[in-house]
Structure 1
Amino acid sequence: MRTVAISGTRNTGHRAPDDYAILFMTYLGPFAESHFYLGGASGIDSLSLLWLAENSAAEITVVVPGTVDQQLSDARQAIARTRERIKEVIELNAGELDTSAYHARNRWMVDHASMTIGFPNAAEPTSGTWQTLDYTAQQGKPRLIVPV
Structure 2
Amino acid sequence: MTLSIAITGTRSTEHHEVTWYADLFARYIGPFRSEDTHFHIGGAKGIDSLSLLWLAGHSQSSITVVVPGTVDQQPTDAQEAISRCRDRITDVIELRASELRTPAYYARNRYMVDRSDMVIGFPLEGGASTSGTWQTMNHAAEGGKPRLIVPV
Scaled to the shorter chain, the TM-score interval is over 0.9
Query: Following superposition of structure 1 onto structure 2, how do residues 68-87 of structure 1 map, counting pairs within 5 Å?
Result: 68-87=71-90
SS of residue paired to 1:85: coil
Aligned positions, number: 148
What percentage of residue pairs aligned between the two structures are identical? 61
Deviation at 1:124, TM superposition (A): 1.2
1:61 and 2:79 correspond:
no
Equivalent residue, structure 2, for 1:140: 144
Equivalent residue, structure 2, for 1:32: 33
- Residue ranges of structure 2 left out of the alignment (5+ in a row): none
Query: Following superposition of structure 1 onto structure 2, how do residues 1-148 of structure 1 map, counting pairs within 5 Å?
Result: 1-33=2-34, 34-126=37-129, 127-148=131-152
Q: TM-score normalised to the size of structure 2?
A: 0.96
C-alpha RMSD over aligned residues? 0.5
Counterparts of 1:116 and 1:90, CA distance in 2: 18
For residues 5-55 of structure 1, what are the alpha-carbon distances to aligned partners after superposition, in whole Å with 9 as ceiling and x for unaligned?
Answer: 000000000011111001100000011011000001000000000000000
Counterparts of 1:105 and 1:133, CA distance in 2: 13
Counterparts of 2:56 and 2:18, CA distance in 1: 16
Q: TM-score normalised to the size of structure 1?
A: 0.99
